[in-house]
Structure 1
Amino acid sequence: MCERKDKKTMVQEQAATQISATTRPLRERVGISIKNGLKARYTVQEVVESIQKAEAAGIQQIWMPQIGPLDTPTIFTAAALQTQQIRFNVGVVPTYTRHPLILAQQALAFDQVAPGRLRLGIGSSNKVLIEDVYGVPMGKKPLSQTREYMSVLRAAIETGQVEYQGEFFQVHYHEETTASIPLIISALGEKAFETAGEISDGALPWLAPIPYLLEKALPALKKGAQSQQRPAPPIIAGVLVALSEDQQAVQRAVLQQIEHYLGLPYYIRLFANAGIPLGPDGTGSEELISALVAQGSAAAVEQRLRQILATEIGELNLTLIPVVDEQKEYAQLLRIIGNL
């Protein structure tokens, strides 16, 4: 049994971790999403070329979810062979669609191709995807399932030894291949952030306003970390970016990209908990978009990103919302990140 740390030591460790997370060079704390969105369609080569361009522009890390017909860890492995140092973040793989040992095997294979360049995210996803598309029942304990999934996944990757008997997983696994790969979980509600503080190396919210993350999510994250006497991991805030000063055009472009989420119960609860309730007639959507999007000129967007990075938010995951010219606006966003 490990020795329990006293409260003073634990607080000091948490403070040191928070300082480390928020004093790194700004550019290292910002990543960009590649081919994000439910409507995104792409080939492997298109993604690889986008990642190569990002690396050439000085981007330190990229993000890509597991959405659509192509497997993100496989795409990342192909991209790793054609890049030098850019870091890869999978954000996230739905836990109900892939056994943790299978995901561990994929991560271990990637680490042998590009050691130290992967961060792996997992999350329970939603019933629309899991039950309607995959036909897998989620039950009523998705957070408990995520907790068990993380236990098996971490042990398989870090030790190669898993003897686990839980409600959702019964695993007997013994291998010699191991790696050190940070593991993060998606989080929306305060209980999920508390769980992230207990078991993960980072919390990855989506469509969560920054004030909500600072005022409610961060205290929950710290509470979870404190309960396990471990340093609090960073919150990696998802920020939408629209490089346009045409407010109406931005509203239309953002709504087109996020309309799917606005009807999902847990996002409705998230927005209400953040103080931006959405009405059935769309009331509140303008305020929500204002809270979620860094918008305007390149200078205005850069200023907003710097403001967020000056808070206790650990990192940013930026998603471009194209308004007029996607390629031009994407190039602008790469330059903004390069200026940080």
Structure 2
Amino acid sequence: MTTYSFLAPFAPYRPEQLLPYAALAQWSDAHRLWQGQAVLNDPFQDFAHAAASGFRVPTGTGVTLMPQRHPYQAAVQAHALAVGSGHSVVAGFGPGAVSFQRSLLGAPYRSQLGAVREYLGVMRGLLEQGGISQDGEYFTCHSEFPLMPRPPVELGLGVLRPAMARLAGEIADVAITWLTPAPYVRDVVVPALRAGAEAAGRPMPRVAVMVPLALAGPDRDAAELAAISNTGHTLLPHYIDMLARSGITVNPDDPKGNAEALLTGGAFLYGEAAELAARLREYADAGADEIVLNVTGVHMRYGERASLAELETLLETVTS
């Protein structure tokens, strides 16, 4: 059965800013609270703060960028969050844009897939096998990691294109997509995941889709909300390529046109609650196991009260 979760629609500057969303996750039928990539805060620490404040819920990072931490530190943080919250954690990672890799590492990974394989290999060895001895091109780790009782930690991988999806099928527990239209998930992502899993002789990873959306309203401009939510993504080469593969053409010099293309192509959803529920079911039919509601545009345009009300309405609609 497909579950519904939601993304905290901003990167908090102070951890207490996350608490209203943690409360909504705890008191609603939401399956999990997610956070995306951030620079000024750490999602693992934010979730730990929420748990210490009394809001203990399943959590997920979708996705944290690998250049920011060694996989040993990533394993420690994921383990500590699962123990501290008492709930499962999806530790989702990805290599990030080449420009981001260069800014932190001095040069991008020679092989994106190779770096990801090594990163998740270290984490899985530590978290599931009690230690790892690996001399890698990108990540080296020789360490024991005592196995302790804890809620599950699932290793997630950000997936946009077929090669990464196939790799996720081989090594990840959860494939996490962002801005991917439902037909693209069905026709590209899921087949590649299945092929990778079959080649590795393991079950296909769960599919968690981050879906940017907004409820229609008389004072709202759909293209404006799509632009606020996703303009940054439409300027990055790997998103431009993924969108092109899904039939959506974006131009770095035309943000307004890009927003309209996202709406037309089904990468950003806009409509009444019942209409959005029907369009979200298309993701379930496409193979999504977890649908993550992303109302970042609403939050950035109208603020916290509006985004919380939006999420509450959407969750009531899709889980009723």
Q: What is the TM-score of this pair, normalised by structure 1?
A: 0.84
Residues in 1 aligned to 2:106 and 2:218: alpha-carbon distance in whole angstroms: 43
Q: Check whether the contact 2:101–2:109 (CA below 8 A) recurs between aligned residues.
A: no
Q: Secondary structure at the match of 1:147?
A: helix
Q: State yes or no: 1:286 paired with 2:260.
A: yes
Residue type at the aligned position of 1:315: E
Query: Match of 1:165, as an amino acid?
Result: D
- Provide the residue aligned with 1:328 in structure 2: 306
1:149 to 95, 102, 119: 119
Cα distance in structure 2, aligned partners of 1:71 and 1:281: 32
Counterpart residue number, 1:20: none
| Map of 1:311 onto structure 2 | 286
Q: Secondary structure at the match of 2:206?
A: coil
Aligned to 2:37, what secondary structure does the other structure show?
A: coil
* Count of matched residue positions in the alignment of Structure 1 and Structure 2: 310
- 1:162 and 2:132 are equivalent in the alignment: yes
1:190 and 2:166 correspond: no
Distance 1:115 1:136 in 2: 38
Moved more, 104-113 or 174-183: 174-183
- Shift, 1:77, TM fit: 0.9
2:182 is aligned with 1:210: yes
Q: Secondary structure at the match of 2:133?
A: strand
Q: Aligned runs of 1:1-340 on 2, under 5 Å?
A: 23=1, 26=2, 29-36=3-10, 40-83=11-54, 85-132=56-103, 134-178=104-148, 179=150, 180-245=152-217, 249-279=221-251, 282=254, 283=257, 285-290=259-264, 291-320=266-295, 321-322=297-298, 325-326=302-303, 327-339=305-317, 340=319
Residues 238, 175 of structure 1: alpha-carbon distance in 2 compared, 3 angstrom cutoff: closer
Normalised to the residue count of structure 2, the TM-score between the two structures is 0.89
What do residues 156-211 of structure 1 show as CA deviations (whole Å, max 9, x unaligned)? 11122111122222221013234541101001110000000000001111111111
Amino acid at match of 2:185: L
Please identify, of 170-179 and 62-71, the stretch whose mean Cα deviation from structure 2 is larger.
170-179
Show CA shifts across 1:235-263 (max 9, x none): 21111111124697110121122111212
Shift of 1:76: 0.7
Gapped regions of structure 2 (runs ≥ 5): none
Change (3 A) 1:286 1:84: closer
Structure 1, unaligned runs of 5 or more: 1-22
Are 2:67 and 2:105, in contact at CA under 8 Å, matched by a contact in 1?
Answer: no
CA shift, 1:284, in A, is 5.8
| C-alpha RMSD of the superposition | 2.2
SS in 2 for 1:131: helix
Q: Distance in 2 between matches of 1:319 and 1:259?
A: 14
Q: What is the Cα deviation at residue 285 of structure 1? A: 4.3
Q: C-alpha offsets along residues 253-292 of structure 1, whole Å, 9 cap, x if unaligned? A: 2112211121211111111111122246635642322311
Structure 1 residues 175 and 135, CA gap change in structure 2 (3 angstroms): closer
* Kept after mapping to 1: 8 A contact 2:15/2:46: yes
Q: Is the 8 A contact 1:54 1:334 kept in 2?
A: no
